[in-house]
Amino acid sequence: MLIDMQSAIVAELIACLAAVPSFGALVVEDSVLRVLDSDDETLPDDFIVIQPGHTEEVERAGSGSVRERVTLNITAITRRREFAPALRAARLAVKVALPGVKAGLGIQGVQSAAFQSETPMPPGEGRRWACHVLPLQITYLQSLK
């Protein structure tokens, strides 16, 4: 049975990030802007969105598999007035929840994972949400058969 590695990786990340204090109560795969623009009053004060980024093919490994690298943007989001300390704590908690050279991912085929340059984003004019984006680049082997 063919396993979609990206779907398996996202599912495991969601499970791992549930351990992040306060923010881990809601971890979803979605578009950050779509979630924030929805103005959904049922959203908690703190949560995490995993937004898929770009995927690149690294190497063809014969006809049966391909090595790929995907960037997943893990975004801690808060509407707290004192957002900076909360987002710094979330940033560290995300890294604790995703340890080691494979970011805690136990899926066979994951070869490496590394965080890229991060982006803190205070709330914009007239906005109440602040966030911290942690791009996680994961290299894996995708079976094609």
The total domain count for the chain is: 1
Question: Per-residue pLDDT for 113 more than 80?
Answer: yes
Q: Residue 43 sits in which domain range? A: 5-143
The model's pLDDT over 80-95, given as tens digits with 9 standing for 90+, comes to: 999 999 999 999 999 9
Q: Which amino acid is at 130?
A: A
Residue found under tokens 């987002």: 87
**What confidence tens digit (pLDDT) does each residue in 45-74 have?**
999 999 999 999 999 877 889 999 999 999
CATH number for the domain that contains residue 48: 3.30.2000.10
- Give the pLDDT confidence score for residue 1 in this predicted structure: 83
- Return the sign of the alpha-carbon dihedral for residues 37, 42, 47, 49: negative
- This prediction's pTM: 0.94
Q: Look at residue 62 and give its three-state secondary structure.
A: coil
Q: Is residue 40 scored above 90 in pLDDT?
A: no
